[in-house]
Amino acid sequence: MASTKIGFIGLGLIGGSVAKAIRKYYPDYNIIAFDKNRETLALAVQDGIIQTACSSIDKNFRECSYIFLCAPVAYNTAYLSQLKDIMSPDCILTDVGSVKTSIHEEITALDMEENFIGGHPMAGSEKSGFANSKAHLIENAYYILTPTEKVSKERTASYRDFIASLKAIPVVLDYKVHDCITGTISHLPHIIASTLVNYVRDHDTKDELMKALAAGGFKDITRIASSSPVMWQQICLKNRANISQILGGYIASLEKAKASVDSGNEAELYSLFETSRDYRDSMPNSSAGPIKKQFAVYCDIIDEAGGIATIATILASNNINIKNIGIVHNREFEEGVLRIEFYDEASSAKAVQLLQKYHYVVYET
Ligand SMILES: NC(=O)c1ccc[n+]([C@@H]2O[C@H](COP(=O)([O-])OP(=O)(O)OC[C@H]3O[C@@H](n4cnc5c(N)ncnc54)[C@H](O)[C@@H]3O)[C@@H](O)[C@H]2O)c1
Ligand SMILES: O=C(O)C(=O)CC1(C(=O)O)C=CC(O)C=C1
């Protein structure tokens, strides 16, 4: 029997991560891909993630059980009419785009509703491209599904199970609700981050003191300003109505903050920071929540050559994968400690036991 075939159009950060997760959990599946970047496809073949690099959306996509559209949102929508003539009637067509209404409207216009289940993994990064993709990017992340009204319950259930089998957490939502929610919690923050960075650029001193002195607060709130311009340009164009309304509401809240500052209203200013702190602190600190739990431990190391390598070797020889490792200097650890981040709680707990066994001083936070 021929193995299940899955097609990707666009194989960057998100397409690559989903493809890598499929390769990890379904090693026998036949994955094919088209990406406008030929080097990306060559790398994916070389890494053993895809079997076939397609030079266009051709007949190779005909036998696919699933086709994932993973290019910037406007391109995904533009490919639909081409796919209509190629896809098999049993294929589940899906996307990973950050906006859903525009693609649903085009699906309806093209009468492709029986096959379409929109998708959106609520995970990502400011980095782009296949080289930065990882199977575990979608692990424990909410993965929003927006089936059309005409797609059968069986198809939705089967796709939901498939997404869950990749270790993501499927959540079914109406596509219009999706766009209001993501407009507020994702699109608005990206606009805030980018405008804030540009504001500093435009108001910096001649010798760029702001740029030099910008510390943790600025960096924490602006990491996402380094994201792909074409991706965010297309998101803003495709979710214009929602973003415009949300920006209007947000500007009003900035005006309110300005009025409190202008009038020196102590109670209002205190309340601004108190309510935000309480709400932010109430957000679930779990790997599936909006604020990803980090599995990190801190460890004193002897300041000598090979100190980090020794720890890395201890962990690697016990099959513990390190997500991130580096020396940190902050007020909590004035002397500087080694921060080691893991992919999951179990690895973190095992690492603590091991390092303590080797007499390292370990701090858990
Ligand atoms: N980056 C994130 O944090 C994130 C999170 C969730 C969903 N998304 C959505 O995922 C999709 C892809 O984003 P990404 O972060 O993977 O971007 P990316 O830039 O890493 O990848 C996009 C890929 O699509 C390819 N591509 C671009 N135009 C194409 C075209 N016309 N035809 C074929 N291939 C084309 C690029 O070569 C690249 O490999 C977008 O729709 C985005 O809204 C992104
Ligand atoms: O973590 C990041 O860097 C992201 O921007 C991820 C993020 C977001 O949270 O806004 C970006 C776009 C999405 O469609 C989903 C997730």
User: How confident is the model over 166-177, as pLDDT tens digits?
Assistant: 999 999 999 999
Cα 71 from Cα 53, distance rounded (Å): 16
Are 19 and 70 members of one domain?
yes
Ligand 2, atom 14, residue with closest C-alpha: 98
- Which residues contact residue 327 at a Cβ distance below 8 angstroms, ignoring those fewer than 6 apart? 308, 336, 337, 338, 339
- Residue 99 structural domain: 5-173
Domain boundary among 250, 281, 312: 281
DSSP string, 143-170: EEEEE-TTS-HHHHHHHHHHHHHTT-EE
Residue nearest atom 2 in ligand 2 by C-alpha distance = 125
pLDDT over threshold 70, residue 332: no
pLDDT class of 331 with cuts at 50, 70, 90: very low
Residue 312 has pLDDT above 80, yes or no: yes
In a domain, 9, yes or no: yes
CA atoms within 13 A on the CB side of 259: 7
Q: What is the DSSP string of 113-131?
A: GGGEEEEEES---S--SGG
Q: Look at residue 168 and tell me if it is in a domain.
A: yes
63 in any annotated domain? yes
Q: How far is the CA of 129 from the centre of ligand 1 (A)?
A: 8
- Establish if 287 belongs to a structural domain: no
Q: 81 and 215 share a domain?
A: no
What CATH code is carried by the domain that includes residue 333?
A: 3.30.2130.10
The number of the ligand 1 atom at minimal distance from the alpha carbon of 14 is 16
Last residue of a domain, one of 253, 281, 309: 281
Answer whether 5's CB lies under 8 Å from 29's CB: yes
- At 193, which CATH number? 1.10.3660.10
Domain limit, last residue, from 149, 173, 197:
173
Of 8, 11, 14, 96, the residue with max ligand 1 atoms within 8 A of its CB, to mutate for a pocket test, comes to 14
Do residues 218 and 246 share a domain?
yes
92-131 pLDDT, tens digit each: 999 999 999 999 999 999 999 999 999 999 999 999 999 9
Query: How many domains, the chain?
Result: 3
Q: Is residue 86 part of a domain?
A: yes
Residues 166 and 188 in one domain: no
Spell out which residues line ligand 2, taking CB within 6 angstroms. 98, 122, 124-126, 186, 224
Same domain, 269 and 314: no
Going from the Cα of 7 to the center of ligand 1, the distance in angstroms, rounded, reads 15
